[in-house]
Chains A and B, each alone.
Chain A
Amino acid sequence: MQTFDLEKEGLRALNSSLHALKGQTNMTRWEVINPKGAHAIAAGVDAEVEITVRGSTGYYCAGMNKQATILIKGSAGPGVAENMMSGKVVIDGDASQYAGATGRGGLLVIKGNASSRCGISMKGIDIVVHGNIGHMSAFMAQSGNLVVLGDAGEALGDSLYEARLFVRGNVRSLGADCIEKEMRPEHFELLERLLKAGEADAKARPEQFRRYGSARKLYNFNIDNASAY
């Protein structure tokens, strides 16, 4: 276990050390102490390592992550795991705005609540939120899966493309072109897998969720749909 005191050694030294792990390494377990809300902690990592951040993080923790497992033992600021490519990020606390924004792969688990625009423009990432999510979540979401054990705020899935949204609680309102869809057997199987991967299988069952997706009415411009925007 490599222990890194962020307050003493600084962010540049941390990220530089983590980036140097690309390729092969036997230093597979890292611990970051004293994060104190710093921005861009463990951004741009590209190695199969496990990084535990002991405390809360600022903006863009685990940004563009590839391969790494990053565990945040606190809450995360805006844009956590933005544009993640692969790997796994688990937040014990809450996540601020834009969690998992534009993520292209990997798994983001938020054990608390997520703020507005969770999964905005997601492009393949899987996101599991144990609590609630805020307004405008999954805006223009293109692909991937968003699983919410709690409630969703206003305008869920506005201008959605092909991402799948599963919500167990109430949805305040659906955004333009987002509709409720039938839960088919493959969706129950998918949810079973995602709940397990997201450490939520003890909290919820697939049959408790409703599925939301794109009505695909706004895919090609039609003047008769102009009032939807």
Chain B
Amino acid sequence: MTDFPKTPPRFSATFTPAVNAEIRRAAASGIYDIRGGGTKRHLPHFDDLLFLGASISRYPLEGYREKCSTDVWLGTRFAKKPIHLDIPITIAGMSFGALSGPAKEALGRGASAAGTSTTTGDGGMTEEERGHSKTLVYQYLPSRYGMNPDDLRRCDAIEIVVGQGAKPGGGGMLLGQKISDRVANMRNLPKGIDQRSACRHPDWTGPDDLEIKIHELREITDWEKPIYVKVGGARPYYDTALAVKAGADVVVLDGMQGGTAATQDVFIEHVGMPILACIPQAVKALQDLGMHRKVQLIVSGGIRSGADVAKAMALGADAVAIGTAALIALGDNDPVHEEEYRKLGTTADAYDDWHEGRDPAGITTQDPELYKRFDPILGGRRLKNYLKVMTLEAQTIARACGKNHLHNLEPEDLCSLTIEAAAMAGVPLAGTNWIPGRNGGF
């Protein structure tokens, strides 16, 4: 018999080894996969946009001589005491519970040193965080864990959380491993149980109620605090318009790349929209209402560099928020812990079992032995450095585009590398004036 060459093994593009592994895991365990972080799939993102830079038609600013400002005011619509930040890169809400006390302290130290704000999360306000954050945004969540009027009055702004990008329409989850005595006490829960946060607020539903809720919070705080409304990237045009109608000072818009402490993988990967697709819709809603720059827009979800900051602002955002990137700056997923990641069955830069509370970096844990490893002073310094670098990068790009303030960046400074990005961002495909769906497109 002739020995013909055999057909080489061919993997299915549908049933890939990763898909099959998940089927086997589900079959063996009977439970869906829960993990932290944001979507890991490839999505149209800021990498699909480029800045054009200046040439003959517009002139650049000198990088080492001419000023490019970065400050931002938030809450100028109604609040008696709006917030003024030196840089437009804020720290997104992350809970004590999901993060250790020292990690929250480091976020406060780093943000304050860089001239920006940090944000509480589900579970209430800790002294570590208030004490080390010059500007602290207090989240008002459906669970109301730790919610009290004293903390409302000692925060600098209030963020009503309607949803988040990793799970629009979903509630929170903190598994029993991380419900320590202190976390349990702050949340009025028995120790060691799986804590579920509701997906809807307990005492309001819909935009008309939200308006009344915002009014109540303003009354309780004597109209001093800026009130943000945070939504996940689901229907950004209408959500932004309704938040404005309800009386928000600031809209926070979180794309599906935004992280979570713990949620079902299927939720993270299959619900929501990428931030690139969300920003133009939110900006259009603000413009249609005559409220662009009057109600400020903070966007988040996959912001990693000064280039991402500049692109988000060119599309019309007033500021951005970072969560995952801030944790990485603190030391999360650092290859220095590779040996321990291997023991957990993972590897550096892929570790996402934050809900299990065994983080070798001591950041996403409530285990005293683990969080003792984390130095909040060093962590704060690293975060400050990272925020400064991002700001310098964004300024570099803005000057190259001839802008003396990051807020002067505009969509006309951008082009798209792909048709998808052009359609989502509303920015012409590079080398053309074509925006799919507009100016004669389909």
Contacts and interface: CB of A to CB of B under 8 A. Distances in A.
- B partners with A: yes
Contacts of A173: none
* Contact residues on B (Cβ < 8 Å of other chain), bracket: 20 to 34
Interface stretch (B7-15, B162-170, B208-216): B208-216
Q: What is the predominant secondary structure among interface residues of chain A facing chain B?
A: loop
Interface in A133-164: 139-140, 142-143, 159, 161-162
Contacts, number: 101
Nearest to A78: B203
A98 interface: yes
B203 A219 contact: no
B31 interface: yes
A101 B202 contact: yes
Interface stretch (A48-56, A60-68, A184-192, A200-208): A60-68
B202 A40 contact: no
B416 interface: no
A46 interface: yes
Given A19-B222, A44-B149, A121-B198, A102 B212 contact: no
B187 to A, nearest CB: 8
B436 to A, nearest CB: 42
B220 A219 contact: no
Contact of A66 (B149, B187, B194, B219): B149
Given A43-B220, A60-B212, A223 B193 contact: no
B190 interface: yes
Nearest to B145: A123
Nearest to B221: A44
A15 B212 CA distance: 15
B423 to A, nearest CB: 38
B203 A15 contact: no
B261 to A, nearest CB: 16
Contacts of B203: 60, 78-79, 82, 97-98, 101-102, 120
Contacts of A12: 219, 223
A4 interface: no
B66 to A, nearest CB: 46
Nearest to B223: A12
A63 B147 CA distance: 12
Given A79-B203, A142-B189, A159-B196, A223 B144 contact: no
Contact of B149 (A58, A85, A117): A85
B143 A121 contact: yes
Given A39-B212, A43-B220, A120-B203, A223 B149 contact: no
A15 B202 contact: no
B440 interface: no
A98 B202 contact: yes
Interface string A25-48: 000000000000001100110100
Given A63-B216, A220-B176, A121 B202 contact: yes
A165 B312 CA distance: 50
Interface centre among A15, A102, A104 (most CB of B within 10 A): A102
A16 interface: yes
B190 A162 contact: yes
Given A104-B148, A159-B196, A220-B176, A64 B204 contact: no
Nearest to A161: B189
B346 interface: no
* Contact residues on A (Cβ < 8 Å of other chain), bracket: 35 or more
Contact of B219 (A43, A101, A104): A43
B30 interface: yes
Given A43-B216, A121-B143, A64 B194 contact: no
A136 B223 CA distance: 33
Contacts of A179: none
Given A102-B147, A159-B196, A161-B189, A64 B202 contact: no
Interface in B151-201: 152, 175-176, 187-190, 192-194, 196, 198
A46 B221 CA distance: 12
A79 B204 contact: yes
A123 B188 contact: yes
Contact of B30 (A85, A140, A223): A223
Nearest to B220: A44
Interface in A105-121: 117, 120-121
A221 B31 contact: yes
Given A19-B222, A83-B147, 20 more contacts: A12-B223, A40-B212, A40-B215, A40-B216, A40-B220, A43-B219, A59-B209, A59-B213, A64-B148, A64-B149, A85-B148, A102-B144, A102-B203, A104-B148, A121-B143, A121-B198, A121-B202, A142-B187, A221-B31, A223-B29
Interface of A: 11-12, 15-16, 19, 39-40, 43-44, 46, 58-60, 63-64, 66, 78-79, 82-83, 85, 97-98, 101-102, 104, 117, 120-121, 123-124, 139-140, 142-143, 159, 161-162, 219-221, 223
Interface of B: 29-31, 143-144, 147-149, 152, 175-176, 187-190, 192-194, 196, 198, 202-204, 209, 212-213, 215-216, 219-223
